[in-house]
Structure 1
Amino acid sequence: MKRVRKAIIPAAGLGTRFLPVTKAMPKEMLPIVDKPTIQYIVEEAIDSGIEDIIIVTGKGKRAIEDHFDHNYELEDNLMKKGKFELLEKTKQSSKVTLHYIRQKEPLGLGHAVWCARKFIGEEPFAVLLGDDIVQAEKPCLKQLIDHYEETGGSVIGVQQVPYDQTHRYGIVDPNEQKGNSYSVNQFVEKPEAGTAPSNLAIMGRYVLSPKIFPYLEDQELGAGGEVQLTDAIQRLNETQSVFAYDFEGKRYDVGEKIGFIQTTIEFALENEEIGPDVQAIITKLAEDLKQKQN
């Protein structure tokens, strides 16, 4: 069995939920405290043993490439000033080889993954979406890779969501459960409200067989008029087992404003340098608000 060495990070979306800031800045570069969201995703891939990452970009995404390039002037400056901790942070991405490809048309997640087919070749591969950051003792992707190595089957990361939110996600219709793993009857992309077969939602982490590429190539447009990865996964599941894995860890939704703000606050509170000050600010704001309401 081939190892999972390569990963795809789709980053070609327009980021319309965060306009107007995303008119000039990729949403993947929006910072959570002092680190852009996409760096959390790259670091998870590195910590999971990934050796090569291809980032699928689009128009106006050059800042992503610039961020992960070496900045020799900055690195030399930090070295001379003895700021070794900051130097290590700026060089974190050097532990993996990064590649880039453009998605020339905004045809959806499935099409973005298909754009990287020549880079992947005939190897199993990971997909990590930038809208989800996961904090876990064992990296979320590593949990999926371990499951793939145990079963030899493609595996999709899932977690439970409230039933009234299922229409926002790809949803799994589970069959047999063994621990955190489920065999799957069907994968359904954004089911209409009240029709979801379960509340197990796909959460932006995948380990897939390269056999999915032919399905992506001729996949008809699905929800939102786009090529949906979930639809191709369902077709793959009809010919070989695709598992759903209820991964351990806390998932943060940074793809919408409220989730982004909540993530920023929680990460700031956990930050050793600024956490106490942020807590004091929040406490003061709460007291001021209470006084206004009285």
Structure 2
Amino acid sequence: MEIKKAIITAAGKNQRTLSLQSLVDRDGTGKTALAILVEEILRAGIGAIGVVISPGDEAAYRAAAGAHAGRLTFIVQPEPLGYAHAIHCAAGFCGDDAFLLLVGDHLYLSATQKGCAQQLVETAQAENCSVSAVQSTHESKLPYYGAVGGMLVHAARRLYEVSTVLEKPTPTEAEQKLVVPGQRAGYYLCFFGMHVLTPAVHKILHYLFAAGGPVNFRAALAALAVQERYLACELEGRRYDF
């Protein structure tokens, strides 16, 4: 499975402003959060990048991308209908290709020479299936993240077969449905803000939206876990939700 495309969702209320913020690294170099995310994707060997934005935001995002602006395709989410809808808006850009998905208000710090996105892409290519990056997270942070449960399938590579997906579960729900072998008591596998997904997820989202009513990304991932092999992977790195 080749992953040649990536999506950054940047149309959410916080994502619209945070992605445009300038940050200064320890060497005094200033970059916007968007530029940092684009470079993370490029390090993973992906050159086709779509950015989901709100109407009227393209000029600001082009400026924030700097030298990378020419690599980006801007995809407008016409109405603020949520994260799942933002991903659905990128279906035409992705076509029938697997894709890397990042959220616009996270940054990633790798503990190895390979970036977090590169680690995830290589895992998905090796396993030939959808893979969500996860991070072992204390139950006190559950109100902020989606989480998964499943079976450990490769301890050394920290890979899990996903069977359950919950959005911002309570500690009680997590204890009942998300306990995973090898995790410390009170810790759960919460989303990292980074996924590699097959085109099946777009078909699922299309079906869910056609059925009417509110749609969340958790429901799409839960359906994906039923339809095809879907893994979670603990990366060598940390996510920072800013």
- Band the TM-score falls in, shorter-chain normalisation: 0.7 to 0.9
Question: What secondary structure, in the 3-state scheme, does the structure 2 residue paired with 1:55 have?
Answer: strand
Q: Which residue of 1 aligns with 2:92?
A: 118
**Cα distance, 1:144 vs structure 2:** 1.1
Checking the alignment, whether the CA contact within 8 Å between 2:108 and 2:116 is kept in structure 1 is yes
C-alpha separation in 1, matches of 2:56 and 2:22: 17
Asked which structure has the greater CA Rg, the reply is 1
Q: Which of 15, 21, 43 is the aligned partner of 1:30?
A: 21
Matched-pair contact (CA < 8 Å) for 1:109–1:227: no
Deviations 1:48-86 (A, max 9, x none): 001100100003523012333xxxxxxxxxxxxxxxxxx
Deviations 1:205-235 (A, max 9, x none): 00000011121123269xxx95322220110
Q: Tell me which amino acid in the other structure corresponds to 1:32.
A: L
More helix by share: 1
Q: Describe how 1:129-140 pairs up with structure 2 within 5 A.
A: 129-136=103-110, 137-140=113-116
SS, match of residue 6 in structure 2: strand
Which digits, 9 at most, give the CA deviation of each residue in 1:88-121, with x for residues without a partner? xx53x26x72101110111111111110111111
Q: List aligned pairs for 1:193-204, cutoff 5 A.
A: 193-196=171-174, 197-198=178-179, 199-204=188-193
Aligned ranges for residues 161-180 of structure 1 at < 5 Å?
A: 161-178=137-154, 179=156, 180=158
CA-atom RMSD in angstroms: 2.0
Task: Identify the residue that residue 184 of structure 2 maps to in structure 1.
Answer: none
The structure, 1 or 2, with the larger RCO (C-alpha pairs under 8 Å, 6+ apart) is: 2
Q: Distance in 1 between matches of 2:56 and 2:168?
A: 28
Tell me the residue number matched to 1:66. 63
Letter in 2 for 1:36: T
Q: Distance in 1 between matches of 2:224 and 2:102?
A: 19
Amino acid paired to 1:188 = L
- Which residue of 217, 234, 237 corresponds with 1:249? 237
Identity %: 32
User: Structure 1 residues 114-123 or 211-220, which shifts more?
Assistant: 211-220
State whether residues 34 and 64 of structure 2, in contact with CA within 8 Å, keep that contact through their aligned partners in structure 1: no
Alignment of 1:4-153 (within 5 A): 4-15=3-14, 26-33=17-24, 34-62=30-58, 63-68=60-65, 91=67, 93=68, 97-136=71-110, 137-153=113-129
- 2:130–2:231: 8 Å Cα contact kept in structure 1? yes
Deviates more, 1:244-253 or 1:225-234: 225-234
Contact 1:55 1:101 in 2 (8 A): yes
Structure 1: which 5+ runs fail to align?
17-21, 69-89, 255-294
TM-score by length of 2: 0.84
- Answer yes or no: is the 8 Å Cα contact 1:56–1:116 preserved in 2: yes
1:15 CA displacement? 2.0
Secondary structure of the structure 2 residue equivalent to 1:104: coil
When the two structures are aligned, how many residues end up with a matched partner?
A: 219
Take 1:175 and 1:153, find their aligned partners in 2: how far apart are those partners?
A: 16
Structure 2: distance between partners of 1:230 and 1:203:
14
